Amino acid sequence: MSRSLAVVVRSDACLLHVPGAEVWVGVSTPGTELPERAVRIEAALRGAGHRTVESTRHDDSVLLRVHDLRLVEHLRTVHERWMASPIPELVGQDRVVPYLMPTAGMLDGLPEREPTAVHAAAGRYCYDTMTLVGPGTWEAARAAVDVTLSAVDLVVAGEPLAYALARPPGHHVTRSAYGGSCYLNNAAVAAQALRDAGHERVAVVDVDAHHGNGTQAVFYERADVFYGSLHVDPGAGWFPHYTGFADETGRGDGAGANLNIPLAEGTGDDAWLGALDRVADAVAAHGCTALVVSLGVDAAAADPESPVQVSHDAYESAGRRLAALDLPTVAVQEGGYHLDTLGDLVAVTLRGLAG
Contact footprint for ligand SP5 (CB under 6 A): 22, 24, 29, 32, 130, 169, 172, 180-182, 208, 210, 239, 296, 298, 305, 334-335
Catalytic residue among 172, 199, 231, 312: 172
The C-alpha angle 151, 154, 158, rounded to 5 degrees, equals 140
Distances (CA, A) of 214 to 127, 187, 243, 274, 307: 11, 10, 10, 24, 21
Q: Pick what 119 binds: ligand SP5, Zn ion, none; C-beta below 5 to 8 Å, kind-dependent.
A: none
Closest CA to 101 of 76, 74, 122: 122
Q: Which is nearer to ligand SP5, 58 or 172 (CB)?
A: 172
* In the complex, least distance from residue 158 CB atom to ligand SP5, rounded to whole angstroms: 30
Alpha carbon 302 to its chain centroid, in Å, reads 20
Q: If binding is defined by CB under 5 A, does position 316 make contact with Zn ion?
A: no
Q: Which is nearer to ligand SP5, 30 or 111 (CB)?
A: 30
Tell me how far apart the alpha carbons of residues 90 and 243 are, in angstroms, rounded to a whole number: 37
Of 335, 337, 338, 344, the one binding Zn ion by CB under 5 A: 335
| CB contact at 8 A, 292 and 197 | no
172 is catalytic: yes
Of 22, 206, 298, 303, the one binding Zn ion by CB under 5 A: 298
Q: If binding is defined by CB under 5 A, does position 210 make contact with Zn ion?
A: yes
Q: Which is nearer to ligand SP5, 42 or 208 (CB)?
A: 208
* In the complex, least distance from residue 30 CB atom to ligand SP5, rounded to whole angstroms: 7
Q: Which is nearer to Zn ion, 168 or 335 (CB)?
A: 335
Of 146, 208, 233, 248, the one binding Zn ion by CB under 5 A: 208
* In the complex, least distance from residue 335 CB atom to ligand SP5, rounded to whole angstroms: 2
Alpha carbon 184 to its chain centroid, in Å, reads 8
Residues 6 or more apart whose CB falls under 8 angstroms from that of 270 comprise none
Q: Which is nearer to ligand SP5, 130 or 282 (CB)?
A: 130
Q: If binding is defined by CB under 5 A, does position 296 make contact with Zn ion?
A: yes
Residue 229: beta bridge partners?
A: 206, 260
Closest CA to 330 of 68, 148, 83, 139: 148
Longest dimension (CA), the chain: 60
Other Cβ atoms within 10 Å of 93 Cβ, number: 16
Residue number closest to ligand SP5, CB atom: 335
Catalytic residues: 172
Binding footprint of Zn ion on the chain (CB under 5 A):
208-210, 296, 298, 335
